[in-house]
């Protein structure tokens, strides 16, 4: 596995509406399963993906606050839907509409996470990108990562309050094409 940081090329990659990107991780977020669509779109070989942290595909334009929300939700043993821009190993980026759920053992303990990703509509991508630009700006005003995450999270909460929406309602509004 290359250890050099991948630089975004600005080139977007897509996949078809009939395809699903699927990955599974352990409780620490290390990839334990990746389907062929994930491998193709992320430009990774299976050997390069398995055992690696899922943030291997984190795009620098993705606000940290969204990942905080994702992990906070999963820690509460709840599912989450989110629009995410990922970074492929060759520098291309790709947008997904992600559905992430905890995986449980027979005793009800979380043993990992399962993520299915679909192609989002272009309207939802544009609206998510606009929102994420605001969150990144709030995060960018801070040098320390914890401060940046807190600022992005506070900005997201303010936006949700202004729109009188929960995060889930906002995501479904974007999915339905309502950007308010």
Question: Does pTM surpass 0.75?
Answer: yes
Domain ranges of the chain: 21-175
Buried b or exposed e, range 82-112, using 16+ CB within 10 angstroms: bbbbbbbbeebbbbbbbebbbeeeeeeeeeb
Homologous superfamily of 21-175: PAS domain (3.30.450.20)
Predicted pLDDT of residue 175: 81
Q: Is the dihedral of CA 56, 94, 81, 118 positive or negative?
A: negative
Query: Mean per-residue pLDDT for 16-38?
Result: 97
Predicted pLDDT of residue 131: 96
Predicted pLDDT of residue 3: 53
Contact 66, 135 (CB under 8 A): yes
Render pLDDT for 57-88 as a digit per residue (tens, 0 to 9). Answer: 999 999 999 999 999 999 999 999 999 999 99
**Considering only CA atoms, which of 101, 61, 94 is closest in space to residue 79?**
101
Parallel/antiparallel/unpaired status of strands 31-34 and 21-25: antiparallel
Alpha-carbon span 56 to 48, nearest angstrom: 10
């Amino acid at each position: 596995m290359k250890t050099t940081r991948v630089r975004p090329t600005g080139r977007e990659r897509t996949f078809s509406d009939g395809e699903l990107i699927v990955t599974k991780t352990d409780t620490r977020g290390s990839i334990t399963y990746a389907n062929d669509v994930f491998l193709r779109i992320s430009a990774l070989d299976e050997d390069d993906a398995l055992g690696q942290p899922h943030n291997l595909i984190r795009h620098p334009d993705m606000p940290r606050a969204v990942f905080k929300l994702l992990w906070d939700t999963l820690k509460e043993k709840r599912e989450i839907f989110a629009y995410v821009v990922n970074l492929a190993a060759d520098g291309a980026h790709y947008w997904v509409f992600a559905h992430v759920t905890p995986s449980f053992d027979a005793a009800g303990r979380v043993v990992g996470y399962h993520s299915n990703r679909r192609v989002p509509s272009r309207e939802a991508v544009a609206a998510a990108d606009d929102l994420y630009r605001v969150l990144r700006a709030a995060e960018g005003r801070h040098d320390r990562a914890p401060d940046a995450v807190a600022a992005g999270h506070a900005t997201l909460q303010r936006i949700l309050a202004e729109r009188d929406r929960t995060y889930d309602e906002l995501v479904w509004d974007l999915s339905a094409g309502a950007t308010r």
